Amino acid sequence: MHHGHKNLLFIHLESISWQTLNAFPESFPNLLRIMPSTRRFRSYFSSATSTQMVMTSLLHGNSFELDAAPGLARPAANNPSLFSILESRGYRTEFLCVSAFSIGPMMPLLANSLPPVWTTSDFAELLAKFETAIAQGPFAIYVWNLVTHIGHAIALESFSDSIDDLVSGACAVADRIVGALFDLLERHGVLDETVVVLFGDHGDDFWTHGFKRGVTHGAEPYSHVTHAPLLIRDPALPAMDDYRMASTVDLAPTCLDLAKVPAALPFSESGTSLAFGGEHAVCFSQNFTANQPDAPERDVRKAFCVYDNAYALLVSTRGLELFNHKLDPTNHCNLLHLFELVDGELALRVPGERVGIHLATLLEFMTNGERAVTQRFKKLQCELRQHISKKNRYVAEHAQPPFKVLDLASLDAINRHGRSAYFGALDEADGPSAPQVAGAPRETRTALRNITDALLGRSRNAGH
């Protein structure tokens, strides 16, 4: 084994998104203390909304591993598991799981992708096990603390007086473990020889997008669920805020690069190493496998989402939803309520004779030139179409019919769910029977600019 190999530590921040971290900063003194020494990937989006799907993408460096199955299944091993690669290079590999409850066998579907799963409900026992594991390198260790999963956080009920206090308290417990792990690495003198990856698998949506039978994640991949922390500490990676788009599928190739372990990830849709300059224009997430049917009994549709640095375009059997996740981080304003698709182009359709000056000003920016939401929409729609087409082909090659893939026609329809509530009394029409925009998109844009000019008291000459 090459002498230059580094140790590797994954710290899985269960159910912690940037929204969680920003909501409860007082619960994360250790994480906030560590953060300035890390590369902070501010535009990281997890590849799925459920833990096992995210872990599979991390371990195998791609998001296709489960797609041929009608639900959760054993990974297809399009790429070898990261831990299998490291074990073959002489690493000591460990998977350590801790929870406030006693728990049974964990992750049976990932048995071939992970080291044997060691579990405990004793936090002191976890730290003792970790200290033993780092005594001799090189090591690759995955630590998963389940206390911040809402189903496990309830163990802290007697210490909490409200649901937000419960979540905050669970985060504080998890943060203490993070601090203790770092302290042990420092005490044993191996911190600077270890690539430390701290990542959130997903956040929670406390029913703000509907009841969903009461689940808080595993539903559609709205950006406040998938926009999660990704922090990497390694002296070879200068500490800074990094705004490149990043996905869970990038973690395996990035860690192999940082650990100085040359290894091929042969699958054509593998992630990209972020260690030394790799980047994406967009990244993707999903809630179900590509061959998994909708779950109407839970009001959950199979959905795929593409993100760039400002927008999220989501598609399900209901059609398309577009959000500006910078201005609308919880994805409650489907911008496509303001538009119709006419011959594949977005055309404005805003009810009422007068548009308020605030919206009119923004709409001019949204519809004028390359900066326009219309241009961004077309690019994201194209990226999403290509991504889902690849997944559908993968299903056709690896599964048995009948297939339950998403019909690409969904990418040519706008999801009108909730539009009536959005516009209220201005427009009671909802659904496919709603009246269409008259005229071509350019004409509607011109008409809107005239409205904007009138509201702003400006004038345009005819040749402008």
Q: What is the CATH number of the domain that holds 202?
A: 3.40.720.10
- Cβ proximity of 219 and 209 under 8 Å: yes
With 60 as the cut, is the pLDDT of residue 206 above it? yes
Confidence class for position 425, pLDDT limits 50, 70, 90: low
Alpha helices in 228-371 (DSSP H): 251-258, 357-367
Q: Are residues 258 and 336 in the same domain?
A: no
Q: Are residues 215 and 71 in the same domain?
A: yes
Helix (H/G/I), strand (E/B), else coil: 117? strand
Confidence class for position 137, pLDDT limits 50, 70, 90: confident
Q: Are residues 100 and 202 in the same domain?
A: yes
> What confidence tens digit (pLDDT) does each residue in 313-326 have?
999 999 999 999 99
Q: Are residues 258 and 225 in the same domain?
A: yes
Q: Are residues 262 and 314 in the same domain?
A: no
CA atoms of 135 and 143, how far apart (whole Å):
16
The mean per-residue pLDDT over the stretch 328-340 comes to 93
With 90 as the cut, is the pLDDT of residue 101 above it? no
Cβ partners under 8 Å of residue 443, min gap 6: none
Q: What pLDDT was estimated at residue 157?
A: 75
CA atoms of 355 and 173, how far apart (whole Å):
49
In 276-357, beta strands by DSSP E? 283-286, 304-307, 311-316, 319-324, 339-342, 345-348
Q: Is residue 186 part of a domain?
A: yes
- The closest of 12, 59, 65 to 228, measured between CA atoms, is 12
Q: Is residue 153 part of a domain?
A: yes
Number of domains, the chain: 2
Boundary of a domain, candidates 238, 254, 286: 286
DSSP 274: T
Residue 381 structure tokens: 């729609």
- Cβ proximity of 183 and 134 under 8 Å: no
Q: Is residue 2 part of a domain?
A: no
Confidence class for position 48, pLDDT limits 50, 70, 90: very high
Q: Are residues 376 and 329 in the same domain?
A: yes
Q: Are residues 216 and 130 in the same domain?
A: yes
The mean per-residue pLDDT over the stretch 444-462 comes to 52
Q: Is residue 293 part of a domain?
A: no
With 60 as the cut, is the pLDDT of residue 447 above it? no
Exposed e or buried b per residue across 292-310, where buried means at least 16 C-beta atoms within 10 angstroms of its C-beta = bebbeeeebbbbbbbbbee
Q: What pLDDT was estimated at residue 431?
A: 42
With 60 as the cut, is the pLDDT of residue 443 above it? no
Contacts 24+ apart (CB under 8 A), 271-276: 271/61, 271/62, 271/247, 274/41, 274/242, 274/244, 274/246, 274/250, 275/236, 275/237
Q: Is residue 461 part of a domain?
A: no
Task: Find the range with the poorest average confidence among 78-82, 129-133, 159-163, 179-183.
Answer: 159-163
Longest CA–CA separation in the chain, Å: 78
With 50 as the cut, is the pLDDT of residue 430 above it? no
Boundary of a domain, candidates 286, 302, 334: 286
Q: What pLDDT was estimated at residue 433?
A: 36
Whole-number average pLDDT of the chain: 88
Q: Are residues 275 and 403 in the same domain?
A: no
Q: Is residue 299 part of a domain?
A: no
Domain span at residue 75?
7-286
Q: Are residues 225 and 280 in the same domain?
A: yes
Q: What pLDDT was estimated at residue 446?
A: 60
Q: What pLDDT was estimated at residue 110?
A: 95
**CA distances for 343 relative to 252, 274, 413, angstroms:** 42, 39, 11
Contacts 24+ apart (CB under 8 A), 389-395: 390/64, 390/269, 391/64, 391/67, 391/290, 391/304, 392/290, 394/64, 394/67, 394/68, 394/290, 395/67, 395/68, 395/290, 395/291
CA atoms of 213 and 229, how far apart (whole Å):
27
Share of the chain above pLDDT 70, in %: 87
Q: What pLDDT was estimated at residue 427?
A: 55
- Cβ proximity of 306 and 384 under 8 Å: yes
Q: What pLDDT was estimated at residue 454?
A: 55
Greater pLDDT, 147 or 74: 74
Residue 22 structure tokens: 């920003």
Helix (H/G/I), strand (E/B), else coil: 203? coil
CA atoms of 393 and 389, how far apart (whole Å):
6
DSSP 218: S
Q: Are residues 113 and 173 in the same domain?
A: yes
Q: What pLDDT was estimated at residue 210?
A: 76
Q: What is the pTM of this model?
A: 0.90
Q: Is residue 294 part of a domain?
A: no
Boundary of a domain, candidates 252, 286, 320: 286
Q: Are residues 234 and 189 in the same domain?
A: yes
Q: Are residues 272 and 380 in the same domain?
A: no
Q: What pLDDT was estimated at residue 302?
A: 96
> What confidence tens digit (pLDDT) does each residue in 388-398 have?
999 999 999 99
Q: How buried is 204 (Cβ within 10 angstroms: 0-12 exposed, 13-18 middle, 19+ buried)? A: buried
